[in-house]
Amino acid sequence: MSETKSSLTGEELYAALRRDMIDSRTPGGTVLQEEDIARRYGVSRTPVREALQRLHQDNLIGRRGRFYVVALPSHDRIRDIYEFREAIEAASVMLCCDRATDLEIETIAALLREQENAAVIQNFYDYERLDTLFHLAIADGARNEVLRSQLALSYDELWFSRVGNLISIVNYSVAATLGGHQRIVDALRRRERDVARAEMISHLRSAIAVSERALPQKRRKNSSKIEQS
């Protein structure tokens, strides 16, 4: 790599790090070294520190002694995220019914078809990525940037947890998930906001029930050893 430093700001590096950690499925507990990040992105230590501080504020990384590490949320934290998502996404899907254009709703339906195709060929990385995009597209249709940005952060945090990787759980049903998505799309197309809300809540509660059954008893009781604040 050239010795010339990149002109990335702390905010730009934050966005790049967040995207790259998600795309590479960096495991929870991975130590993040300032020097390694600076070398990889061709930047000085200053934007690295700013980016890491921002990731820490978003609960995507924690502290272990003097090092930053990729967060591995406790079960309690995961439950909190799903309960937060239920409140946010119930509102989001109703607003989407009211505000989204027909084209936006068909875009949501197209994401579901892509997710179905990914399941058929067992490309589960894309399957999970499309699952996130499906829910974020509904938030886009709601026309509320605060809802959308907070929902995106909650999805990012779940990516770093073992429970967030629902496809690996024995009791997880691809067919049930896709069926729930289809019922949400059908309600959106009919502009039935109360039905869409009920389907979204049912869908999210099913996901957390599956994740809870998969957790070892010890992890259900203990908090994460990684400090989140």
pLDDT 10s digits, 51-83 = 999 999 888 888 888 889 987 777 787 788 888
CB 78 within 8 A of CB 211: yes
183 has a pLDDT exceeding 50: yes
Higher pLDDT, 128 or 50: 50
Mean pLDDT is lowest, of 12-16, 96-100, 166-170, 209-213, for 166-170
What are the structural domain ranges in the chain?
10-70, 75-221
Identity of the highest mean pLDDT range in 101-105, 166-170, 223-227? 101-105
Question: What topology does CATH give the domain 75-221?
Answer: Four Helix Bundle (Hemerythrin (Met), subunit A) (1.20.120)
Q: State pLDDT tens for residues 199-228.
A: 999 999 988 787 676 665 444 444 444 444
For 10-70, the fitting CATH number among 1.50.10.20, 2.40.160.40, 1.10.260.40, 1.10.10.10 is 1.10.10.10
Average pLDDT over the chain reads 84
Q: pLDDT at position 217, please?
A: 47
CA 100, CA 175: separation in Å to the nearest integer? Answer: 27
